[in-house]
Chain A
Amino acid sequence: MLSEDILYLPVRELGKRLRTKQISPVELTESYLARSEKVGTQLNAYATLTRELALEQARAAEKEIAGGRVRGPLHGIPYAAKDLLAVKGYPTTWGAKPYAEQKFDFNAAVIERLDRAGAILIGKAAMIELAGGMNYRFAAASLTGPAKNPWNPGCWTCGSSSGSGAIAAAALAAFAIGTETWGSILCPAGYCGVTGLRPTFGRVSRYGAMALAYSQDKIGPMGRTADDCAMILSAIAGHDPMDRGSLPPAEAAFAYPSPLAMPLRIGWLTNAWKKIEPEIETATKEAIEKLKRRGAKVSDAQLPEGPYEAAAGTIVAVEAGAAFRNLIESGRVAELADPLGQINGYVYEQIAASDYMLALRIRGVCQRKIDELFDDYDVLAAPTLPIAATPLETNLEKDLNFPDPVGGIGNLCGLPAVSLPCGFTSAKLPIGLQFMAGARNDRAVVAAANLFQQSTDWHLKRPSIS
């Protein structure tokens, strides 16, 4: 078995070693599988391991690489995918009991794209039931139980890409795929001390992915570095006529590396969080100072005023109510694990078409307002969250009660964002910093994150778990 030092290497470095035959895809896959079977079980990180498929893909990659046929930087790289992405022949549970036996006879577009890139699927990552679509009160709102944070297994990973966060943080795979409708990539990335990239809406096809909110769902990578995430995004991005929200071909593709005019202009959001833990404020401000020293132009910025959280919430509620109408009307929603999830769908159904339309019109106004801000800034920066990972038993409804205007406007308007680690609290829990950019400017959030990670080592820290 390969050492932990190898398993924690970024994808870029693993790829080099695979291509120079210092390590083999089969050896790497077996090592990640063994670690996933042991540590992954402790963390409730997986819904399913796809051992047979993984070894079959690994053997094929090994043969191709040995024959000099290298498909690209992800060839031979093992990864995990959130269990809302269809994988032919394996259960796709959406993290929820009513769908525990669900199987599809096709692969999601993202799985197909990664297969074509030569990546190796080792498992389906655990997740919050229905990606939190019916809302939830506890971390245990999952078919697989609460996902435990590798930095402190008494704490949560955040959701809904809970398993993806744990897998990336504990090196159970080289990277993981998550999804975000509102906070589901950035929050687990922040809690787990990994890098998570939420692409512009429409850049990555959602064909074969569970729908939560048709006009806000996005798919993105979670891994060690922003450089890795960008490489992965370039492999999974692209137009897909099967996804009605897909950007046109020229806009959906993501070329990486891609140059960005320098110096990078960063707007430090002064109204991102109403209250913030002092340790987090200090760490994130130090991170911004670091970027200044690296040549970035930093000045204070403010999000525009508007009911964007209310609009985003209304849209999610109505679209989730529509997406899960059968579940709600049949009464099988009562089989969900979370007490809030069991009834909230009934409330969603009462939202008027006029209010939904109002929210959609507000979205248009918000898109214009936030876009104006990017005349002056390449990226906006803020702490990913105002708190660090919370205990597993936390009542999220009562004890994790804070506004999230950055996530609200970012997801309402489909803007790209990245979260990356920038320090630790005194309790040794990761602190996250986020960058958000204008629509389609995913390369700006990657550039900002790269600039930071090129001169810091927070992303290289490892939890002591084995």
Chain B
Amino acid sequence: MAREKKLMDRISRREFAQRAAGAAAAAAIAPACSLAGPPATLFDRAHELQEDRPGGLSYETEADAEIEAKVQAILRKYGERLTDEQKTEIRRLVAEGQKPLLKMRGFALDNADQPANVMKIYPDASAPRRARRR
């Protein structure tokens, strides 16, 4: 928890958006997997991708694999329109975006915690109001 707090503290207000990349690189491959049999995990798929990379890096954690899978998904879809410099930047942005996701994923939620979208203002005006301390 303390480590997560430190991570959180390092998230800048202007970095938040660029760091807010998520974990869906598998989205493009999932349908094919589901038709072919049991879906490959993101980790497995990332290792497949690693084999395709010249001088491929090793993945120390699942998070690294997820980052790589996302980068590859972007390059597969948009690579032709990106310069080498932009590709490097995208790798950096995806890696930075992983940190807030890990922070969120470490946050305890109950089954009953509903998603707030489109946002409903809390508390509901029509609900019985707790007495405010004054």
B107: chain A residues within 8 A (beta carbon): 306-307, 358, 362, 365
Given A216-B119, A309-B8, A403-B8 in contact, is the A346-B20 Cβ separation under 8 Å? no
Contact of B103 among A183, A310, A360 (CB under 8 A): A310
Tell me the number of A-to-B contacts counted with CB atoms below 8 Å.
207
Given A307-B104, A439-B123 in contact, is the A352-B14 Cβ separation under 8 Å? no
How near does chain B come to A200, taking the closest CB pair, in angstroms?
Answer: 7
Give B54-105 interface residues, CB cut-off 8 Å to A. 70, 73-74, 77-78, 81-82, 86, 89-90, 93-94, 97, 100-101, 103-105
B89: chain A residues within 8 A (beta carbon): 339-340, 343
Looking at the complex, which of B21-29, B32-40, B45-53 is the stretch in contact with chain A?
A: B21-29
| C-alpha gap A244/B120 in the complex (Å) | 10
Structural contact, A313 and B122, CB atoms closer than 8 A = no
| C-alpha gap A250/B125 in the complex (Å) | 10
**Nearest residue, chain A, Cβ from B82:** A343
Give B112-134 interface residues, CB cut-off 8 Å to A. 113-119, 121-123, 125, 130, 132-134
Number of interface residues of A (CB under 8 A): 79
Structural contact, B103 and A347, CB atoms closer than 8 A = no
Structural contact, B12 and A403, CB atoms closer than 8 A = yes
Number of interface residues of B (CB under 8 A): 57
A427 within 8 A of B: no
One digit per residue, 1 when the CB lies within 8 angstroms of any chain B CB and 0 when it does not, for chain A 385-405 equals: 000000000001100111110
Structural contact, B15 and A397, CB atoms closer than 8 A = yes
Given A307-B100, A317-B20, A361-B113 in contact, is the A439-B122 Cβ separation under 8 Å? yes
How near does chain B come to A380, taking the closest CB pair, in angstroms?
Answer: 15
**Nearest residue, chain B, Cβ from A364:** B116
A352: chain B residues within 8 A (beta carbon): 22-24, 27
**Nearest residue, chain B, Cβ from A265:** B134
A357 within 8 A of B: yes
A214: chain B residues within 8 A (beta carbon): 118
Contact of B14 among A216, A347, A348, A396 (CB under 8 A): A396
B82: chain A residues within 8 A (beta carbon): 343, 346
**Nearest residue, chain B, Cβ from A350:** B70
B117: chain A residues within 8 A (beta carbon): 215, 315, 360, 363
Residue numbers of A with Cβ under 8 A of B are 132, 135, 182-183, 200-202, 214-216, 244-245, 247-248, 250-251, 261, 265, 274, 305-307, 309-318, 320, 331, 334, 339-340, 342-344, 346-365, 367-368, 371, 374-376, 396-397, 400-404, 407-408, 413-414, 439-440
Would you mind naming 24 contact pairs between A and B with Cβ atoms under 8 Å apart? Answer: A201-B119, A202-B121, A215-B117, A251-B125, A306-B107, A309-B11, A309-B16, A310-B20, A313-B100, A343-B82, A346-B78, A347-B93, A348-B20, A351-B20, A351-B22, A351-B24, A352-B24, A354-B24, A355-B23, A355-B104, A360-B117, A364-B114, A365-B107, A367-B116
